[in-house]
Chains A and B, each alone.
Chain A
């Protein structure tokens, strides 16, 4: 069946450091891929998405590229800020739209 695996957290970085959060998936067919973010005390928000191979999603300085050959969708940001501290979820969207989530990665950015 379809599944998503994310790197374990927590990830602790200093402000302005480079961020990578790894995400790999297993799927039949051609799913869409998403990153959702949950800031402290807030609901899940869509961060970015990609709907086909080689697509790059980007938003708020974050990027992720849909790599079919490595079944990956790693999240990157060149320079993190304290305000980026949150839980990040990689997700796979099936044909019905149902989302299958990874376990989430907590990011803490220190000043």
Chain B
């Protein structure tokens, strides 16, 4: 049943550690998006992929954040040297194609807590 799958669903880690968040999009979806949902900032765009390329990384908050996508499928969002302000729910979405009218299908998110 192949919706967007994200793992882990919850992650608690200490400040300063690195974390990796994984997203498995719907099979055949070429576009993949990462967003962050936090109490103070609402839902914010981070980065998107068309295939394995990331034409827009403008939402990444700092150079501690990076993401990659391989094989036009799975994507990993990495946060290095985590800070408390990184605590949020990280959402991944995919769509069949890139474009303004394309509906995005969201995963359930990874809830990241930095102690």
Residue numbers of A with Cβ under 8 A of B are 30-32, 34, 36, 42-46, 49, 51, 89, 93-104
Give the contact-size bracket for chain B.
20 to 34
Contacts of A42 in B (CB 8 A): 108
Quick check: is B43 within 8 A (CB to CB) of the other chain?
Answer: yes
Write out, one digit per residue, whether chain B residues 91-113 have a CB within 8 A of any chain A CB (1) or not (0): 10101001111111111110000
Contacts of A104 in B (CB 8 A): 42-43
Contacts of B35 in A (CB 8 A): 99, 101
User: Do the beta carbons of A46 and B98 come within 8 Å of each other?
Assistant: no
Q: Which of chain B's residues 2-46 have a Cβ closer than 8 Å to chain A?
A: 31, 33, 35, 42-45
Contacts of A93 in B (CB 8 A): 99-102
Cβ contacts A to B, 5 pairs, < 8 Å: A46-B105, A93-B102, A97-B98, A98-B48, A99-B104
Bound-state CA distance A90–B57 (Å) is 22
